[in-house]
Each structure stands twice: as C-alpha cells, then as structure tokens.
Structure 1
Amino acid sequence: LFGHEKGAFPGAFDRHIGAIQHADGGTLALDEVDRLPLAVQQRLLESIQRGDVRPIGARHSFRVDVRLIAASNLPLKEMAEGGHFLNELLAALSPTTVHLPALRERAGDIPALARHFLARIGEQPGLRALGITDGALSLLAAYDWPGNVRQLQAVLFRAAVFCDGDALTADDFPQLSDLLGSDGAQQAPVHEGVGVMLYTPDGNLRPLEDIEADVIRLAIGHYRGRMTEVARRLGIGRSTLYRKLTELGIGDAA
C-alpha cells in the first residue's frame, strides 16, 4: 500500500512503489478496508490528511493526488464504536457512502450472476464452460447467502470442478440441499472455501492421483491461473507443476 525503499527491511532487495503512489492522479480502490490493522489504518489516515505518502525506509514523503474508494464487508461504524476501526479514518473515507444490498435481497439477480461466474470459471485452465439447470438456479435462489456474492462464486466454482455433465444440476450442490432441508437452514452458513473429497461414496479413500489432480485444479482456480504462484503455494517447482499437468491430463500443459 505504501511501498518501501531498498534495504528498508530484511528481504527488501529492491525499491517498491506502493499502490497509493502508483495511483497518483487516478483512483485507488481498497477492498475489505475493515481488515486493515489499526497501525495501517493510522498510516492511511495520515496519508489522506497530508496528501502524501511515505514509503517504508524513505527519508521524505511524496505528494499524491488520489481518489479513494473503500469497500467493507462489515459495518465500519460499529467497528469504530468497538475500537476496531479509527473514527477519524471512517470520517475521512465517508464523504459519500453507497450501500450495496445483500445478495439475499436481490435473489432475482442470482441466475445472471451464476451464468456470469460459470462463464469466467470455464475460461480457467483445466476447467470448461458449463450450463446450469432451472432446478439448480431455484436451489441457489432459496438460500440466503450470508457470504454474499463471493460465497456464491466459491460454491459455483467447487460445483464446476467436480461436475461430470455439461450443466450443473441441484445434485451438484449437496451442501445447499442438506442445509435447506434441515431446521434453521436459512441461517446456516455454507463454508466459503472449496474442498477436495478424500473418500468415495462407499467409504474408501480415493486414489492419490485423483486427489492430487483435484488439489491442482482448485489451486489453479484459486490463484486465477498464475502458475508461478500455484507452484509456490503447492511447494513444487514450475517444471514439476507442468509435468503433473501433463501426467494428470489437466488442461493444456503446453
């Protein structure tokens, strides 16, 4: 966010220009600003008040002219009252506030969102474009989505990874079916992450090769096809990753 100078801390081998300085003369969007630690909030507040930014290890500040757009998943006013968000920063970020309705308030948008996300998912390595049936859409519309659009996207991604057909059906969302069929289902959250099935329906462990392939597919999707990051997070080299893509028949490993 603020950048750093070469040698500012161990591992800072080069000068790095921060996001604020990069956005000079334009707009910087800060997503999930509610997750910023208080120390970072204080530095951001000072930058807003002074109209400059001082990278870590720098001897002077740089003037910047940046329009900030901040998004939060949590109520910042309540966080400020609880001491988890700076009141001054809240005031600085709130000349204009736009309230986005929860997904449960816009259930009619779910079909369009689902098709949009499935189209994007189908563009990722190792995956393919899928349709979605009316039954599946009805199931998605019946849930209240406490995690909003991100949760919907994660649930669709997991279903797409494990789908054997050409279109997602209600059967591809067993977690939602179980939740909606139980008491208090509308309040029960679906896990926002994506998982890998370890067991077959008859209770036996799946072959290691199949599990490994699922893990790699999930990693590719999670890191948006950035293969260097996928390899690093999986703890293997890029050459090993591409070899496994070929061996496991995942996408185009060329």
Structure 2
Amino acid sequence: MSRILVVDDEPAMVAVLSEVLKERGYDVLQATTPEKAMQLVREQRPDLVLTDIEMPQGKPTGLEVLRQTKALSRAIPVVMITGFATKERAVAALRAGAQDLIEKPFKIDEVIKCVEGALFSPQAVPTMESSVDLKRQVQNQYQFENMVGTSPPMEAVYRMISRVANTDSTVLILGESGTGKELVARALHHNSRRAAMPFVAVNCAALPEHLLESELFGHRKGAFTGASSDKVGLFQEADGGTVFLDEIGSMPLGLQGKLLRFLQDKELRRVGDTQQIKVDVRVVAATNEPLQDKLRNKTFREDLYYRISVIPIELPPLRDRVADIPLLVQYFLQVFAQQQRIAVPQVAPEVLDVLQRYRWPGNVRELQNVLERACVLCDGGVITMKDLPALNLEATGATVPAAPAGSPPALKSFLREQEISYIEEAIRAAGGDKEAAARKLGISMATLYRKLSAGSGSGGDPVSE
C-alpha cells in the first residue's frame, strides 16, 4: 500500500483529501504545518508528498517542504497544489523538482490522476519509490528509483551511477533492448546537480536526418520547406539539464559531425541560422548495438565514439541476473495491482520457475509485459501457467520444469491438464489451425501432437519441452 503525506494549513482540506485517498487504498499521513510535514518525511519516508504551496504568512511554504524532501531523497515525488495567484511559485516548484501541479479549484478525479501518475510514471525515477514495501526497500538501499535488482551485476551498475552522477562527463550506456538504459540515464540526471532542470530524451532512430537535426538543434523560420516559424531545439530546451540520445548508433553520419562540434564547444547553431548559441547540457547516450562494428564499417565516426564513451556503463541482460527476477516479479505485480485497484496476485511456484528459466530476449520490458497480461487475466488471485503467453521456450533454450520424479500423480495430472488446456486454447484462437497454433506457442508440430497425445492418456510428463 502506497503511503502519501498530505500537507495543508487548512485542516478541512487535509481531511477531505485524506478521506478520498484512503477510499482508494492509500495509507495517508497528515500535516497542517511544514515543520510537521518534514518530521513525517524524515521519520516515515512517504512514497509521495501532496502539499499546498501557500502556507500562513511567516511560516515556511510548500516550496520549502519540496526542497527539503528532495534534499532527503530525490526519488520521493512531490505534487503541489497552487492557486491562481501563485503562478511564479508554480514555476519555481517545477524548477525545484515538483512532479506535478494541481491548480485550484480542482476536481477530486484530477487529484487522483496526478497522484497515480506521480507514483507510477517513469518520471518518478525509475520509477522505484512507490509505497510498496519492496520499492521502499530497494529505494532506501540504492536511491535509484525504478531500478530493481540486488544481483552483483546490478550492484556494479549502481556503484558506477553513484560515482559519475554528479560529474558532467559524457556517459555511454550499453545494453540490449529492454534492459533499462533510459532508467540509468534518468538516475544519472536525478542524482546530479542538474536534477531540478529538464531531462529530455530523443530516439535517434525515429527520425530522418533533416528532422532529427531540426529536433536537436532547432531551426529558423524558412530554413526549409515547412519551417513556418522559429523552433527551439532540444539541446537548447534542456539548457542546464540532461539530454539522453537513445540509439545513437542509428544517427546519420552527416549529423554526427555537428553533434561532435556541439559536444566539444558547447555551442550550437540552429538550421538556417548563423548565430552561435551557448548551451549547458550534459549528454548521455545509449546503444543496443556494438558501435565497434559501425566503426569498422565507417558508418560511425571514430572521434565521436571516443567523445561519447568517456564513461561507459554496461547493463546486463536479464538472463545474466536471474536472481533479480523474483524481486522484479513482486515489484511489477504490486504496481499493476495498484493501478488496477485489485489485490496483488500470488504466483504459482511452477510459474516463477518458468520465468527464471526463460531466456528473456526482450529483457525487463518483456517480463513487464508478460506480468501485466498475467495480472489482468489470472483467476482467483493466483497466476498459473495458463496465464502466461506463449513464451518461446524452445528457441531460447529454456525448459518449463517437469514435475519432480517423486511428485504425487495428482500434481503431474494437474500440470498436464493445465498445459493441454493452454494448447487447446491456442488452437481455438487460431481457428483450428494447429500449425498456426504451434507457431504462436513457439513449439514444433511434433511437440504439439506429442503433448496432445499425452493429454489423451499416454502418460507423458507435462511441460517437458
């Protein structure tokens, strides 16, 4: 259950907000003074602070609550409530790290939406400081929000983030798709002196060269067809903060030289402009492909490679940190259950065994998607084998565990029935086409027929492929 601290100098407002949040399953702490609020933040470590900006004259304001909360832990989201007359303070709140602003007068639904968005948004870096006991445990230990894991490979990542976060050195994050490279970039930003300034992410593979150049550096009106007005680029927009260049290996060769000059000089020139603009940003890049191959193929500049890889951080694939899977499973199920307002599902032992044996080519992102589906589809509050998608166990070299040799026949029969039911469901979904069902399940036709035959009474062990 997430723990929320409500702060307002009006007891009636505190009571109303507290009641609404309690009805939705949150544990609520209350404070009517900034001093009491900070005491509760220090002693209770809430997962979110909801505070009014305005306080009685002569008293610290909600901004001071925000600043002291962020000084204690940058990962605790703070949502501010502001009136029409406090626009300047609202801007100051955002600059100081407020997660969101609610403007008076407000609707209760708006408050709930902001609270849930702050608790579960990727912006709440990593997404790791929710009220869930698990999240608090990881956050207190590592202070890296949504990054979950206590395995040696992840401990090495945490140590590296701690050492380099407060520098301005360029960082290159290496790792397969779905390993959490943007989470590392956000952790670097939120644990640095730039934390109160913008964090801007851009996917270098998502845009053609001329649009990517305009997106990063901006352009002047009339610089090219369709440029109907001046545009500020992302580097300038993030001035004082951090720019995350994802999939930098896909950046067009022609644009790499301009990026290199910017990294060296900290100055940019918008497309179609002659003026040089000084910009102070930290650049964090990431790639899921070996840049050395691109260097050999002359599709990536060697000088740019050395400029962006001053500090490399390599993220392990999920298959190399299997010990973290139970922790990740618990974390994601708690998050999904909170979002869907249901009890946290239990996980059958054989399911957890399968999840730890699977090779996870899509890494943590794939695990997250599998668990979200299972959380929605499971019956009786327990995730069983039938709730898992067709994980391609054969292709990845994993096996679903067979029942132990000494298992009672009833357990073997149960597992066999669950597997056959799942295969039959896949065949029905494929309109009776067994070949299509086998492809969807990631098994061969021979395996499909053998398992169906076992279900008719041949006595073969369940889920042994």
Q: What range describes the TM-score normalised by the shorter chain of this pair?
A: 0.5 to 0.7
Cα distance, 1:200 vs structure 2: 7.9
Give the unaligned 5+ runs of structure 2.
1-215, 399-424, 432-465
Aligned counterparts, 1:212-227, within 5 A: none
Equivalent in the alignment of 2:261: 46
Equivalent in the alignment of 1:3: 218
Q: Deviations over 1:6-46 (max 9, x none)?
A: 34334434433222112222322222222322233232122
Aligned partners of 1:128, 1:86: CA distance in 2, in Å?
51
Give the direction of change, closer, same or farther, for the CA distance of 1:143–1:51 in structure 2 (3 Å limit): same
Equivalent in the alignment of 2:251: 36
Aligned counterparts, 1:1-80, within 5 A: 1-80=216-295
Give the direction of change, closer, same or farther, for the CA distance of 1:55–1:116 in structure 2 (3 Å limit): farther
Q: Does 1:105 align with 2:320?
A: yes
Aligned partners of 2:276, 2:370: CA distance in 1, in Å?
44
Match of 1:141 among 347, 356, 380: 356
Equivalent in the alignment of 1:195: none
Equivalent in the alignment of 2:301: 86
Give the direction of change, closer, same or farther, for the CA distance of 1:52–1:201 in structure 2 (3 Å limit): same
Identity among equivalent positions (%) equals 41
What SS is found at the alignment partner of 1:101? coil
Equivalent in the alignment of 1:202: 428
Equivalent in the alignment of 2:209: none
Does the CA contact (< 8 Å) of 1:121 and 1:129 recur in 2? no
What is the count of residue pairs matched by the alignment?
190
Does the CA contact (< 8 Å) of 1:118 and 1:130 recur in 2? yes
Cα distance, 1:89 vs structure 2: 1.1
Equivalent in the alignment of 2:367: 152
Does the CA contact (< 8 Å) of 1:110 and 1:140 recur in 2? yes
Aligned partners of 1:128, 1:6: CA distance in 2, in Å?
52
Aligned partners of 2:281, 2:337: CA distance in 1, in Å?
36
Aligned partners of 2:268, 2:380: CA distance in 1, in Å?
52
Equivalent in the alignment of 2:397: 186
Aligned partners of 2:373, 2:236: CA distance in 1, in Å?
37
What SS is found at the alignment partner of 2:283? strand
For the aligned residues, what is the CA RMSD? 3.2
Aligned partners of 1:122, 1:18: CA distance in 2, in Å?
39
Please, which moves more after superposition, 36-45 or 160-169?
Answer: 160-169
Aligned partners of 1:13, 1:36: CA distance in 2, in Å?
25
Cα distance, 1:159 vs structure 2: 4.0
Please, which moves more after superposition, 94-103 or 32-41?
Answer: 32-41
What SS is found at the alignment partner of 1:71? strand
Aligned partners of 2:376, 2:299: CA distance in 1, in Å?
38
Cα distance, 1:94 vs structure 2: 1.2
Matched residue type, 1:139: V
Please, which moves more after superposition, 9-18 or 127-136?
Answer: 127-136
Equivalent in the alignment of 2:80: none
Aligned counterparts, 1:117-132, within 5 A: 117-121=332-336, 130-132=344-346
Cα distance, 1:162 vs structure 2: 4.6
Cα distance, 1:93 vs structure 2: 0.5
Aligned partners of 1:3, 1:166: CA distance in 2, in Å?
51
What SS is found at the alignment partner of 2:359? coil
Give the direction of change, closer, same or farther, for the CA distance of 1:48–1:128 in structure 2 (3 Å limit): farther
Instruction: Name the TM-score, length of structure 1 as normaliser.
Output: 0.62
Instruction: Flag the structure with higher strand content.
Output: 2
Matched residue type, 1:89: L
Equivalent in the alignment of 2:22: none
Does the CA contact (< 8 Å) of 1:2 and 1:20 recur in 2? yes
Please, which moves more after superposition, 68-77 or 110-119?
Answer: 110-119
Instruction: Name the TM-score, length of structure 2 as normaliser.
Output: 0.36
Give the unaligned 5+ runs of structure 1.
188-198, 206-254
Does the CA contact (< 8 Å) of 2:345 and 2:375 recur in 1? no
Equivalent in the alignment of 1:175: 390
Aligned partners of 2:361, 2:235: CA distance in 1, in Å?
32
Aligned partners of 2:223, 2:242: CA distance in 1, in Å?
27
Does the CA contact (< 8 Å) of 1:8 and 1:56 recur in 2? yes
Aligned partners of 1:7, 1:98: CA distance in 2, in Å?
41
Bigger-Rg structure (1/2) = 2
Does the CA contact (< 8 Å) of 1:20 and 1:28 recur in 2? yes
What SS is found at the alignment partner of 1:97? strand
Cα distance, 1:121 vs structure 2: 4.3
Give the direction of change, closer, same or farther, for the CA distance of 1:36–1:161 in structure 2 (3 Å limit): farther
Give the direction of change, closer, same or farther, for the CA distance of 1:132–1:87 in structure 2 (3 Å limit): farther
Matched residue type, 2:428: D
